[in-house]
Amino acid sequence: MVKENVLDKNTTLALEKSNQLSFKQRLSKAKKRIMRHWQLYIILLIPVVLVAIFSYGPMYGLQIAFKDYIPSYGIEGSKWVGFKHFINFINSHQFSRLIGNTITISLYSLIAGFPIPIILALALNECTSTKFKKAVQMITYAPHFISTVVMVGIILLILSPSSGIINQFIQLFGGKPIDFMAKPEWFKSIYVWSGVWQGMGYSSIIYIAALAGIDPTLHEAAIVDGASRWQRIWHVNIPGILPTVTILLIMNFGSIMSVGYEKILLMQNSLNMAKSDVISTFVYRMGLESAQYSFSAAVGLFNAVINFILLAIVNMVAKKLGETSLW
């Protein structure tokens, strides 16, 4: 993509120099190019309009973060209040708790969830039986397709203090049943490890693809040099997938402040709130349950801006490190 653009620019630059096109001539040329493919623009029209309404429309609506939005006055009719809601949020007693929970949950997810798919892919790659390999892939991808509601339903059933299988095991070995969902200290582990269980197979696909792309002559050369299987993983496979690993790791760091609300909302209860409340669930609760539209829009915007900045920084780092970058 990027290369093409550069080429395009180069050729147009060269053309400009040689032909000394005036602005007018260029305009008419652009017109001609548009007219020749007018049908393509017609095709593009519906998607562009949809994105303009449903993606850029809410961005216009973001101004309510700086207003006291009252539905009957409309977005334009509500009074401007500047940064009031942002200041209120930063000064609120929930602020540190929300930021803390958001960061620890995503860091925990990253530390637990990032290496496991890589290890799984490396192990699958070494598997000598194709049938067994296929079976493992098939089974481990499957949980990805389970809906969040069903996933949380399974968690609640398995961890139930009265009838859940985990507590029956605990009792079998003489322990006392634990009401996992009522204990805030368990929340993050349950959230993260159920996520690992659900996602590890699917996340490994990309590494398996990267491993398949490694030049086989490298392995042949290593075999000739007497490298063991372990040494080949260490010196051929891991360096081979390192670019993929790096870009995914960087992308993960870029989204460290965004924890989704879908699963947490379902797992949340008044007993584990201290550890389960994150920015996105707070936005949902304040906005849609308590109808504090402006305040929660401000919290959401605060979060979105941080995410955007993080992503930009992370992308810059990626560019410095190598050729891989998001844009």
Partner 1 sequence: MKKTKGSKINETRQDKVFNAINTVILWLVLILVAYPLIYVLSASFSNPQAVSSGKVWLWPVDFTLRGYEVVFQHPDIVRGFFNAIYITVLGTVIQVIITIMAAYPLSRKTLYGKGVITLFFTFTMFFGGGLIPTFILINNLGLYNTYWALILPGAVGVYNVIVARTFFQTTIPEDLFEAGQLDGCSDFRFLMSVVLPLSKPIIAVLVMFYAVGHWNSYFGPMIYLADKQLYPLQIVLRNILVQNQFDSQMMMDVASMEQQKGLAELIKYAVIVISSLPMLILYPFIQKHFVKGVMIGAIKG
In terms of DSSP H, where are the helices of 92-183? 94-113, 115-126, 130-141, 148-159, 165-172
> Residue 87 CB, nearest distance to partner 1 (Å)?
18
> Residue 18 CB, nearest distance to partner 1 (Å)?
20
Q: Is 131 in the site for partner 1 (CB under 8 A)?
A: no
Per the CB < 8 A criterion, the answer to whether 101 and 278 are in contact is yes
> Residue 317 CB, nearest distance to partner 1 (Å)?
16
Site for partner 1 in 73-102 (CB under 8 A): 75
Site for partner 1 in 158-197 (CB under 8 A): 158, 160, 162-163, 165, 168, 171-172, 197
Site for partner 1 in 14-73 (CB under 8 A): 30, 33-34, 36-37, 39-41, 43-44, 46-48, 50-51, 53-62, 64, 69, 71
> What is the three-class DSSP state of 277?
coil
Q: Is 316 in the site for partner 1 (CB under 8 A)?
A: no
Amino acid of residue 194:
S
Q: With CB under 8 A as the rule, give the number of residues binding partner 1.
A: 107
What are the backbone dihedrals phi and psi of residue 28, each rounded to the nearest 5 degrees, phi first?
A: -70, -30
Site for partner 1 in 101-120 (CB under 8 A): 120
Using left for φ > 0, alpha for ψ between -120 and 50, and beta otherwise, residue 188 falls in alpha
> What is the three-class DSSP state of 174?
coil
Output 54 or 80, the one with its CB closest to partner 1. Answer: 54
Output 109 or 164, the one with its CB closest to partner 1. Answer: 164
Instruction: Indicate which single residue of 190, 257, 283, 314 sits in contact with partner 1 (rule: CB under 8 A).
Output: 283
Strand partners, 68: 79
> Residue 326 CB, nearest distance to partner 1 (Å)?
8
How far is Cα 30 from Cα 166, in angstroms, rounded to an integer? 68
Burial 1-27 (b: 16+ CB within 10 A, else e): eeeeeeeeeeeeeeeeeeeeeeeeeee
Looking at residue 65, the DSSP 8-state letter turns out to be G
Q: Is 327 in the site for partner 1 (CB under 8 A)?
A: yes
Site for partner 1 in 192-251 (CB under 8 A): 197, 200-202, 205-206, 209-210, 216, 219-220, 223, 228-230, 244, 247-248
> Residue 126 CB, nearest distance to partner 1 (Å)?
5
CA end-to-end span of the chain: 10
> Residue 274 CB, nearest distance to partner 1 (Å)?
20
Per the CB < 8 A criterion, the answer to whether 207 and 244 are in contact is yes
> Residue 55 CB, nearest distance to partner 1 (Å)?
4
Output 184 or 287, the one with its CB closest to partner 1. Answer: 287
Transcribe 196-217 into DSSP letters: HHHHHHHHHHHHHHHHHTS-HH
Q: Is 323 in the site for partner 1 (CB under 8 A)?
A: no
How far is Cα 291 from Cα 306, in angstroms, rounded to an integer? 24
